[in-house]
Structure 1
């Protein structure tokens, strides 16, 4: 019986040390350490709240600037006519305009542009290049009275969306060229609104990330606008051919 008792005495000190360790871990937490932990959590909470607040503030500030840029220039239209008012709106946006039989008018890198166009009140605007401009749904109203506008380039405009395309119908009688290339918020639904523009002869719908099936969309737009040359999309993109539609050797032209 001596051996078991001897082994028990050998184990007891180890057990006591581990027990003391367990009691130490389960004991009261140092108030100062707990206070530091709460302070850090509060700091992180305040930090992320401030970041979200700052992000929201900057976004709202940017939207306010966009709305300010797209305000109505109806007061100028009454004084200088619709062509000058529409041209001034586009030039202030950083775009370019072309009056009939005149050279393009574009702002320089500082946003300055020739004031000569104020003398063209009786000359119609026939082309507008608003590529990359912050034009939106409200701003398009400034173009509604350009009754001779033939070409409108809206490529890479960050705020042009489906609602904007639904507002192009007042230009249906004259508009022949339209570019929507690179507009991130234009989808199939917006392209369907272009059925009003039956005088279109050229339409660029390339690089539209919100269009889920570019190839099929181009086919549908071509059916909707039969007299228009729709460009910018690979017809095979997004279309999967079945076995019966795969090209056969007999369908290939025989070399001369």
Structure 2
């Protein structure tokens, strides 16, 4: 989308530049980058169409990867369907009551043999899960840990859907998610059972210090982790004392009435 917007903004200046280059008698002697720019301007609409098609296919791929696995669930149950969805997204999970994890790197069909075992921990870091894919976890009422680190499709609407885990979720990692804003963080107030929340390095958070304070007030039993920000340094002791003295009212002389 950004590339398409940039191409539209640069369309007229680039075409004007190409006309100037074409009218010059020194085109053959121009630098390589100038000749490359001239070549691209001659095929400007082809490049724009290519960007449009690339964006469309990318969105289609994300929708396909976040499809609802209802057909699998009808044969093997919702827990196996959720597990299969996670593995297809290159993630990992752990069943309740088991210590071993299932990962896409070490694919094992043994996960099908746990039809009645709910998922307790899910790791979908660096995957393209979005709000549609979250529907595959509606039956996971025992989910305690959910890691969504650096997921490019996780946004505020996604966070608002996490209320389905309000009775079980204890740990949530949404660090480095580029689309999360303070509005989405406010939706986490329903997760009263959270004990650990990682909101490190969220690029769209303008005032991280204030956001952390609000999260700690909103979730008093939760340990909030917020690394990767430049917080304002606390005032020095001398400056703090000076600031306090300036705020204290000066005494008034009873004889002359002067402060």
Shorter-normalised TM range: 0.7 to 0.9
SS in 1 for 2:43: helix
Q: RMSD between aligned alpha carbons?
A: 2.8
For the 8 Å contact 1:216–1:239, the answer to whether it is kept is: no
Task: Report whether the alignment pairs 1:92 with 2:88.
Answer: yes
User: Does 1:70 pair with 2:66?
Assistant: yes
Aligned residues of 1:66 and 1:134 also touching (Cα < 8 A) = yes
Secondary structure of 1:207's counterpart equals coil
C-alpha distance in 2, partners of 1:150/1:245?
A: 46
Shift in alpha-carbon separation, 1:55–1:248, aligned structure 2, 3 A: same
| Aligned structure 1 segments of 4 or more residues deviating by more than 6 angstroms | 40-43, 242-245
CA distance in 2, matches of 1:243, 1:179: 34
- Structure 1 residue 233: deviation in Å? 3.7
What is the CA–CA distance in structure 1 between the aligned matches of 2:235 and 2:204, rounded to whole Å?
A: 26
Quickly say closer, same or farther: Cα 1:169–1:44, change in 2 above 3 A: same
Aligned to 2:144: 150
Equivalences, count: 210
What is the deviation of 1:214?
1.0
**2 CA distance for matches of 1:134 and 1:239?**
34
Q: 1:80 to 1:239 in 2, by over 3 A?
A: same
Query: 1:246 Cα shift?
Result: 5.0
Q: Does 1:107 align with 2:104?
A: yes
Name 1:54's counterpart in structure 2: 50
Cα shift readout 1:195-221 (whole Å, capped 9, x = no counterpart): 111111000000100111111111101
Deviation at 1:49, TM superposition (A): 1.3
- Whether contact under 8 Å (1:215, 1:233) holds in the other structure is no
Matched with 1:195 is: 189
SS of the equivalent of 2:204 reads coil
Aligned to 1:231: 225
Any unmatched runs of 5+ in structure 1? 1-32, 250-256
Q: Work out the CA distance in 2 between the residues paired with 1:212 and 1:167.
A: 23
Cα deviation digits, residues 98-129 of structure 1 (max 9, x gap): 01232100012xxx610101110111210000
Following superposition of structure 1 onto structure 2, how do residues 137-176 of structure 1 map, counting pairs within 5 Å?
A: 137-176=131-170
Task: Return closer, same or farther for 1:125/1:244 CA change in 2, 3 Å cut-off.
Answer: same
Contact 1:218 1:233 in 2 (8 A): no
Aligned equivalents of 2:209 and 2:96: distance in 1? 36
Gaps of 5+ in 2: 1-21, 26-34, 243-259
- Per the TM alignment, residue 45 of structure 1 is displaced from its structure 2 partner at its CA by 4.5
